[in-house]
Amino acid sequence: MAIEVAKIELRSVQDASGFAACIRAGQFTADQVIAVIGKTEGNGGVNDFTRILADQAYRAVLHRHGKRSAEEVAAIPMVWSGGCDGVITPHATVFARNDRTGPAAKTRLTIGTAMSAELFPEDIGRPAMVEKVAAAVQAAMKDAGIDDPKDVHYVQTKTPLLTIDMVREAHRNGHDVACEVHESMGVSNGTTALGIAVALGEVAMPRAEQICRDLDLYSSVASCSSGVELTQAQIVLLGNRAGAGGRYRIGHSVMKDALDIDGVYDSIRNAGLELPARPRAEDLAGRVVNCFMKCEADRRGTLRGRRQIMLDDSDVPWHRHAKAAVGGVAAAAIGDPAVFVSVDAMHQGPQGGGPCIAIVDAGE
């Protein structure tokens, strides 16, 4: 079963016209869609409801054009990351599975999905969440038909964060929580990343005191987002598998810091495209479908030896600075501002940097 990939611009928060156009044009059917990963133009915070609006619009298209039940459509993983700071264009990357096959000698993109056991408010930031996420990642690997963790290049997740109501629920049940509401987005992302790293053998099971503290522990393929939309870890796992069919391959690298444009090109090379020693966007020949990356302000307050003010700015939150900066670097690298850049990269790549994943058109 081959994977088809399409990148679709969002003309407004609730715009799904490009999605419907792909279906009408026959690029894929509504019932072949298995996952969506997108960027919306909200504030990227706890109360960013643009994620919910985009989600509703895309699921409505699947209802209107497909035959799946409401329950089946609701179960399709859709990971929406809010915040298109700087030059980033709101867009969605849609993944569909068709019945094409391919020769065993060629490795091509494959996708697996899974949902974790329910995550309770008191799990966030603690070993229980690491364990639940790790189990779900292993289930997604099985769903993708991948046996070797080295063939996994991207694990995109969506997990719950804390709200005031959730904190009150935990207290009513006799539990405390590991962090404050406004810290919970980063803590949820970081704990999830450790679950991915454990599942793929990148790190050993961390001790409770290492979670969101020991930043030398990280995954090179994790991209974790969180929001108010769900109470489980939603896993979308992408890798390469021999005989998968289709025309796409995936690769990954890490950006060592916010200026590491070579990290972007290294992910493209890892996906299988040959590039010159000092590449430019023109060298990609339109074969890069999209790049996905995580970033955050370096907690040491420096970048290549220079002082940074992201963490000191009281007017603009640091995550907006970081997202805009890395989005500009990535857009310049591939010549397209529709790039997926998400913040809160704790345990996702090295401190001050983050994973970078590329999907390329490898041809027939």
Looking at 7, 39, 132, 158, which residue is catalytic? 158
Distance set, CA 109 to CA 4, 36, 40, 98, 352 (Å): 9, 15, 25, 12, 29
CA atoms within 13 A on the CB side of 254: 17
Residue 282 phi, psi (nearest 5): -65, -25
For the question of residue 158 being annotated catalytic, the response is yes
For the question of residue 116 being annotated catalytic, the response is no
Looking at 188, 223, 225, 342, which residue is catalytic? 225
Q: Spell out where the chain has E strands.
A: 3-9, 33-40, 78-82, 91-97, 107-118, 152-160, 222-227, 232-242, 248-255, 288-294, 302-303, 306-307, 340-342, 354-361
Residues 7-22 as b/e (b if ≥16 CB within 10 A, e otherwise) read bbebeebbbbebbbeb
Do residues 118 and 231 make contact, with C-beta atoms less than 8 angstroms apart?
yes
The set of catalytic residues is 158, 225
